[in-house]
Amino acid sequence: MYTVADLKKGLKIILDGDPYLVVAFDFVKPGKGQALYRTKMRNMINGSLLDRTYRSGESFEPASLEERTMEYLYKEGNHYTFMDQQTYEQVVMEEETLGDAKNYLLENLKVEVMLFGEKAIGISLPNFVNLRVTETEQWAKGDTSGNDSKPATVETGYVLRVPPFIEEGELIVIDTRTGEYSTRVKG
Amino acid sequence: MKVDALWLRAHVIKAIRDFFWERGFLEVETPLLIPANAPEEHINPVLALPSWQLQTSPEICMKRLLCKGHRKLFQISRCWRSGERGSRHLSEFTMLEWYRADCDYRTLMADCEELLQHVAATCLPGRRCFERHAAQIDPFAPWQRISVQEAFARFSQHEVWDCLKKGLYEEILTSDVEPALAGFDVPVILMDYPAELAALARTMPGHRNLAERFELYVGGLELANGFSELNDPVEQRLRFAEANSARRSAGQAELPLPEPFLETLATMPPSAGIALGVDRLVMLSAGVDTIDEVVAFTPEDL
C-alpha cells in the first residue's frame, strides 16, 4: 500500500478498479491548515485525465503493470488476439483499446502488450513497420499537376499519403508514432 | 539551480537584515533545538533527540524575550516541519520572524508594506516588482486588504463558516480563494480569520469568533502570517489542549507543552508577531515557480 506521502509523478495506483498514472503532483498546506495532496492522474486504460485531492491518512493500492512481448495472431469482428510465444497464453483486445495501433497489426508482428492483472490494456509497437501497398493509383509519367503525394492502401487496410512513385505491391516503411510514410523498402 | 538565484537570495537576506537594523530591531538567535514547540493540529515537528525537537517556528523563544522586556525583535532562522514537501514547501526552510511590543497586527501590515518595498527597491533595481507565474506584482501601489469572510463570499460559492463546519476550509481556500488572489497585481492582505484558525492570536474586541490574524499573499503565494498575540496563559493552555485533542482524534501523537512559555506569558505586553517565508520571498524576487530553484540543495539532492 502507498500512503499520501508516497505520491509523486510517475506513481501507478489503482482507483475505482482502474490503473492510473500520477502525471502531476503538488503538496499544498495553507496557513497552518490541513495538508492537501493535489494530483492529476491519467487513466491507463482509456487515457482520460482526473484531478483528485487527498488528505493525510489516505492510502492507495499500487497498480502492478507488466509488459510482455507477444505476437499478433488474428482479428475477429473488432477483437484482436495476441499470444505469448513462450507460454502460449492468449489475450484479446478490443479495437477501441488499440486505437491507432490497429492500423499496423499484421499477423505475426511482435508487440509489447501492457497487462494490468489478466487484462491487456494497450500495446506498444516498434517505431517502424513494413507494410505492402495493396492499392494505389498509377503515377502518370510527366504529370505536372504538382501533387507530391497520393493516397495508398496497405495490407492492413490503413490508408495513408505516399509519394507518387510508389506502386502497388511495393513494401513501404511507416512510422507508427506519426502514422506517416517514411521510406520505400528497396529490392 | 542557477548561480544568480543564490546571489539574489543573499541580497534579499541582507536587505531584510538592513531593514530591521535601520529600524532599531534587535537581531536575536534563539535555540533551534527545543523541548517543545507550540502544539498545532497540523504541524508535525521533527524529533531530533529523545525529548527534544527542532523548532517549527522561533515563536516560543521570541515571545519569552518579549516577556523579558525586549520590545522590537527579529530573527532569520531555520525551521523544520515534518512531511512538508512540494513546489512551495521544504521540510527545512528559512523563516523571518519579527515581534513588536505595544502594537497590534495593523502595525505589522504597515511593516510588511515597507519591508517588501525595501526588498524590491534594493534587490530588484529597475523592475521594482515581484513576479509570480509571469505576472508582475507591484509593492509600491496601494495594497489590497480583504477579510477572510469577504474573500470566501467574493471568490467562492461558499461561506467560510460553512466550509469550516464541513471540513472544506483548506480545499476551498486553495482551489477558489488563493487562485483569485493571484489575479491581483498588488500584494493582498487576507485578514480577520475565524478564531479557530488562529491558535495563538488574540480575538477581535467585540467579535469572539474572529481573530486579529492576517496572511500576506503576493501573486497568490502565501508569504507571511501575522497576528496580535494572545497573552492570556489560561486561554493559551486551553487552545494547546484543543490542538492536542484534535491530534489525538486524528490518530496523531500528542505534543508536549512549552511550560516555561505558558508560565511567563502573563507578563508579555500586548504584542504582535509575524512569520515570513524567506525562501518564498526569494522565489517572488527571482520570479521562479518552485522553492527548489532558490535553495543551494533540496533534500533530494543530498
Q: What percent of chain A has pLDDT over 90?
A: 60
> Taking 80 as the threshold, does the pLDDT of residue A175 lie above it?
yes
3-state secondary structure chain B: CCHHHHHHHHHHHHHHHHHHHHCCCEECCCCCEECCCCCECCECCCEEECCEEECCCCHHHHHHHHHCCCCEEEEEEEEECCCCCECCECCEEEEEEEEEECCCHHHHHHHHHHHHHHHHHHHCCCCCCEEECCEEECCCCCCEEEEHHHHHHHHCCCCHHHHHHHCCHHHHHHHHHHHHHCCCCCCEEEEEEEHHHCCCECEECCEEEEEEEEEEEECCEEEEEEEEECCCHHHHHHHHHHHHHHHHHCCCCCCCCCHHHHHHHHHCCCEEEEEEEHHHHHHHHHCCCCHHHHCCCCHHHC
**pLDDT the model gives residue A142:** 65
Q: Does B87 touch chain A (CB under 8 A)?
A: yes
Q: For residue A49, which of A28, A27, A20, A25 has the smallest C-alpha distance?
A: A20
Q: Kindly determine whether residue B174 and residue A35, on different chains, have CB atoms separated by under 8 Å.
A: no
In angstroms, what CA-CA distances link B249 with A34, B145, B236? 14, 35, 20
Residue of B41, B83, B178 lying closest to A30 (CB–CB) = B178
Domain that holds residue B21: 3-301
**pLDDT the model gives residue A32:** 83
Cβ contacts of A151 within 8 Å, gap of 6 or more:
A136, A137, A159, A160, A161, A162
Q: What is the CATH number of domain A2-62?
A: 2.30.30.30
Q: How many CB atoms lie within 10 A of CB A26?
A: 18
Instruction: Output the domain CATH number for residue B78.
Output: 3.30.930.10
Q: For residue B228, which of B262, B205, B206, B259 has the smallest C-alpha distance?
A: B205
Q: Report the gap between the CA of B170 and the closest CA in chain A (Å).
A: 7
Q: For residue B15, which of B164, B125, B174, B91 has the smallest C-alpha distance?
A: B125
Distance, in Å, from the CA atom of B279 to the CA atom of B6, rounded to the nearest integer, reads 11
User: Which B residues in the span 126-165 are in contact with A, Cβ-Cβ below 8 Å?
Assistant: none
> Taking 60 as the threshold, does the pLDDT of residue B3 lie above it?
no
Distance, in Å, from the CA atom of B217 to the CA atom of A140, rounded to the nearest integer, reads 70
How is domain A65-124 classified at the architecture level of CATH? Beta Barrel (2.40)
Please enumerate residues of A whose Cβ is less than 8 A from a Cβ of B: 5, 26-36, 38, 53, 56-57
Confidence label for B264 from pLDDT (cuts 50, 70 and 90): very high
Confidence label for A145 from pLDDT (cuts 50, 70 and 90): low
Provide the 3-class DSSP secondary structure of residue A103.
helix
In this predicted model, what pLDDT tens digit does every residue of B10-38 receive, in sequence order? Answer: 999 999 999 999 999 999 999 999 999 99
Of B59, B164, B170, which to mutate for an interface test with A (greatest number of A Cβ within 10 Å)?
B170
In this predicted model, what pLDDT tens digit does every residue of B237-259 receive, in sequence order? Answer: 999 999 999 999 999 999 999 99
The interface pTM score, or ipTM, of the predicted complex is 0.81
Domain borders along chain A are 2-62, 65-124, 128-184
Average the pLDDT over each of A38-42, A161-165, B1-5, B235-239 and give the range with the smallest value: B1-5
Distance, in Å, from the CA atom of B275 to the CA atom of B278, rounded to the nearest integer, reads 9
Q: Which residue has the cell 522553492?
A: B291
Q: For residue B97, which of B120, B68, B131, B63 has the smallest C-alpha distance?
A: B63
**How many domains does chain B divide into?**
1
Strand order through the sheet with A128-136: A159-162, A150-154, A128-136, A171-175, A180-184
Query: Nine-digit cell at B288?
Result: 521562479
> Taking 90 as the threshold, does the pLDDT of residue A151 lie above it?
yes
In this predicted model, what pLDDT tens digit does every residue of A32-66 receive, in sequence order? Answer: 888 999 999 999 888 899 999 998 888 999 998 88
Q: For residue A73, which of A84, A81, A85 has the smallest C-alpha distance?
A: A81
Q: Does B86 touch chain A (CB under 8 A)?
A: yes
**pLDDT the model gives residue B281:** 98
**pLDDT the model gives residue B1:** 45
Confidence label for B119 from pLDDT (cuts 50, 70 and 90): very high
Distance, in Å, from the CA atom of B278 to the CA atom of B76, rounded to the nearest integer, reads 8
How is domain A128-184 classified at the architecture level of CATH? Beta Barrel (2.40)
Confidence label for A141 from pLDDT (cuts 50, 70 and 90): low
Kindly list the residues from chain A whose CB atom is less than 8 angstroms away from the CB atom of residue B164: none
In this predicted model, what pLDDT tens digit does every residue of B161-216 receive, in sequence order? Answer: 999 999 899 999 999 999 999 999 999 999 999 999 998 899 999 999 999 999 99
Q: Kindly determine whether residue A27 and residue B199, on different chains, have CB atoms separated by under 8 Å.
A: no
Cβ contacts of B67 within 8 Å, gap of 6 or more:
B264, B265, B267, B268
Q: Kindly determine whether residue B84 and residue A29, on different chains, have CB atoms separated by under 8 Å.
A: yes
A65-124 and A2-62 share a CATH fold? no
Q: Report the gap between the CA of B52 and the closest CA in chain A (Å).
A: 22
Residue of B170, B225, B251 lying closest to A34 (CB–CB) = B170
Q: Kindly determine whether residue A27 and residue B42, on different chains, have CB atoms separated by under 8 Å.
A: no
